[in-house]
A and B are shown apart, each in its own frame.
Chain A
Amino acid sequence: MRTPSTTQSRSAPETGVLRAQQLYCERDDRVLFAGLDFALQPGELLQVKGSNGSGKTTLLRIICGLNDNFEGALFWQQQPLPEVREEFLASLLYIGHKVGVNKVLSPRENLRWSTSLQAGTRTLGIEEALALTGLAGYEDVPCHNLSAGQQQRVSLARLHLSQACLWVLDEPFTTLDVHGVAALEALLDEHVRAGGMALVTTHHRLQLACSIRELNLDTASTQGEVV
């Protein structure tokens, strides 16, 4: 099923390509989007825009495979995504609305678990990653004692630890302060310039040096109503 070329260059960001073809999704008899086509090349950031309820989160979850209530096709490195799902997941890092941080555990324990699930060779230690996200000194504090923004930072520390070439981030800026926003923007910029890919939903005006492509679901869904 997998060709030798894709196996060899698996975690190398340069080769990963995500493509969506004619995506259609409806919820409660309402068409969220229809005929949605987009492709993501290495070194690109795609910002998914749209009003509340336009299906941004749904789209991200469909791409990650957390929602299969859709029609259309997804491709990863020119192959149908369901067939290469394992390789796709190995190159994917998803941070959703629910950040995936256990409240009883400390940031260190949370990250130890998430990194054990995520593929890739770590160049940084967990402590360094936490320090980079501004959580130095909080490594061993139970997460229920941290603020929402700090919990968000715990999950964002995974970006430092992961080798994944595709980042799928759902509203990563919501609870961050000014410094956090700047740090995350810098991180996104660095990732994309190094040949990584990012799919981000945010209402925040991204200030990045790298090029940003936009996908507006509001216009996509008006097309959908014609169907």
Chain B
Amino acid sequence: MRSGAGQAPPVSTLNAFRATLKRDLLIALKRRNDMLNPIMFFLIVVALFPLGISPDPQVLSPISAGAVWVSALLASMLSLDNLYRADYEDGSLEQLLLCSQPLYFLVLAKNLAHWLVSGLPVVLISPILAYMLYLPAEAYPVLMLSLLLGTPILSLFGSIGVALTVGLGSRGLILAVIVLPLSTPVLIIGAKAVTDAMLGLPVGSHLAMLGAVLALSLSLAPMASAAALKISVQ
């Protein structure tokens, strides 16, 4: 019954990738609170700027790009913990590590799922929040584009930090200490692109830079996450 010699195993890397992606999206769908938290957080933080600083368009407009980007970064940080915690606690992570398929792709699937659930909604609702902060209309496409390129980087970098800290009992601020220094260049380039767009300056180089960092993190960050996960389950 269990011999199975000569039959081709139906498992392929693509299958495992797809199944992991589907599973994580399904979990996110079933835990709507966890999914909505970062987006609500993003909304609330951005809404606090007019209240805390000034509702005056003259004041808000120049800082709008930075405010949206900082809020996006914080929202991404907030959602990171969901990435491996439950899997670590229930043992699914060990099953993931013992899969005969390359761990790179499985980690990539988890990161992609995380971005689809926490990063993409931020990109999609960012114009509404930018409107609230009087971002000039000509900067909207650049804001969305920079977030579209930037938020996956935040997920990929964040994943390394979570993978390193998931085994620690009390993590506290250590995740932020690891992840924020990695993420700040993305924040700087992203916010700068939007500010330059507001001023009518060319933004091609900023976006190209974000694209380059994204390409780099897509190819390297999952490897670092995979290595960190192996250490964390020891």
Question: Which residues on A are within 8 Å of B, measured CB to CB?
Answer: 9, 11-13, 64-69, 86-87, 89-90, 92, 94, 96-105, 109, 112-114, 116-123, 142, 162-163, 165, 190-191, 194-196
Contacts and interface: CB of A to CB of B under 8 A. Distances in A.
Interface in B42-98: 86-87, 89-92, 94-98
Contact of B89 (A68, A98, A119, A195): A98
Interface stretch (B25-33, B153-161, B180-188, B194-202): B25-33
B26 to A, nearest CB: 6
Nearest to B27: A104
Contact of B9 (A13, A90, A92): A90
Nearest 4 CB-CB pairings of A with B:
A98-B91, A116-B19, A89-B100, A12-B5
B86 A67 contact: no
A114 B49 CA distance: 46
B31 A69 contact: no
B2 A66 contact: no
B1 A112 contact: no
A210 B89 CA distance: 35
Contacts of A69: 234
Interface of B: 1-5, 7-11, 15-16, 18-20, 22-23, 26-27, 30-31, 86-87, 89-92, 94-101, 106, 233-234
Contacts of B234: 66-69
B5 A11 contact: yes
Given A99-B91, A123-B1, A112 B9 contact: no
Given A90-B9, A116-B20, 8 more contacts: A12-B3, A65-B97, A89-B98, A104-B27, A112-B23, A117-B16, A117-B95, A118-B11
A100 B16 contact: no
A102 B92 contact: yes
Contact of B5 (A9, A99, A103): A9
A11 B4 contact: yes
